Amino acid sequence: PFKVPENKLLNLESFFSMKAIPQKLLVAGEGPVAAEVSQLLALIGKDVTLLKTAEKIFPALDDYMGNFISRKLESMKIKIIEGTAGYDTLNIDDYEGIVNCMPRKGIKPTGTLKPDSADSFYITDEHFMTSVRGVYAVGDVNGRSIYAHAASAQALAAVNHILGITESMETERVPLTVYTEPELAQIGKTEKQLAAEGIEYKVNEFPLSANGKALTEGQSEGILRILSEPKYGEVLGVQIIAHNATDLISEASAYMAVESTVWDVARTMHAHPTISEVFMEAGSDAAGTPVHKG
């Protein structure tokens, strides 16, 4: 979003083939990559400043998760500065390199077909078909998600539609993952979304600091949060902070795919000792029958 001298710009495509990485770096961008790269650079001893180009580091995350990752980065001496108000006060000369972590646009194929597009992305319907009948656009080119697993699911949904299966894909059930340490993962609605939609909800949590395996492995930083509908107990969203959160989120994805309730989560047998027992613990708490929570 601002001019950078060519000799200072570091793009991720060639980042890891560099023989040496400058010491004082400005990471500019938003989303999971900006957080992941900032933490990586700090872990190898670099002086890192993260310039947020959006109000939040990862706008799609629940505020609880966003606040956690901000605090985590700041605890690692990563300076976070706001870029949303403008870049007039930014002095590029203060940094030896500028790491480009801006959101990327989809690479659209060339050809005679010209489907409708907006903001450099193809416009698609609920089955991922473009304005050109019979032509589908999945993954980066439709702008719906940055994730490879979302692109794969969209492709399967598009193929199903071609074969006459009209069921649409539930885009709110795409797991969001951040590969920091600890990892972050989220699926479903956030507290802010539920409040904006006037949906009544409750939050039940269980910390990894009370999980036996997490303690044994020395990985007790983190928490599992379940957002659920109070009357019938439907799971509306799940948020996880853990060293293996991106693995754990698949269980939440399975629950939400079949519209499970907190009672379903609570009575699912989990092997012991495992990190995944936090699901049973938080589910039991939500169902009003906490097991190991005072």
Domains identified in the chain and CATH numbers: 9-101 (3.50.50.60), 117-169 (no CATH), 173-286 (3.30.390.30)
Residue 103 DSSP label: P
Average pLDDT score, the chain: 92
Q: What string of DSSP letters covers 210-244?
A: G-HHHHHHT----EEEEEE-TTT-BEEEEEEEETT
Number of alpha carbons in the 13 Å side-chain half-sphere of residue 290? 10
The predicted pLDDT at position 86 comes to: 65
What is the b/e burial string over 250-287, where b = at least 16 CB atoms within 10 angstroms of the residue's CB? Answer: ebbbebbeeebbbbbbbeeebeeeebbbbbbbbbbbbb
> For residue 205, with 0-12 CB atoms within 10 Å meaning exposed, 13-18 middle and 19 or more buried, which class applies?
middle
Q: Could you tell me the sign of the dihedral formed by the alpha carbons of 142, 147, 148, 152, in that order?
A: negative
Q: Is 48 helix (H, G, I), strand (E, B) or coil?
A: strand
Sequence-separated (6 or more) residues with CB below 8 Å from residue 19: none
Q: What is the pLDDT of residues 126-183, one digit of tens each?
A: 999 999 999 999 999 998 998 999 999 999 999 999 999 988 888 778 999 999 999 9
Mapping DSSP to helix (H, G, I), strand (E, B) and coil, where does residue 81 land? strand
Percent of the chain with pLDDT over 70: 98
Is the pLDDT confidence value at 5 over 90?
Answer: no
Q: Of 136, 71, 61, 59, which is closest to residue 103 (Cα–Cα)? A: 59
Average pLDDT rounded to a whole number, residues 112-127: 90
pLDDT digits (tens, 9 = 90+) for 190-224: 999 999 999 999 999 999 999 999 999 999 999 99
Give pLDDT, residue 294.
Answer: 62
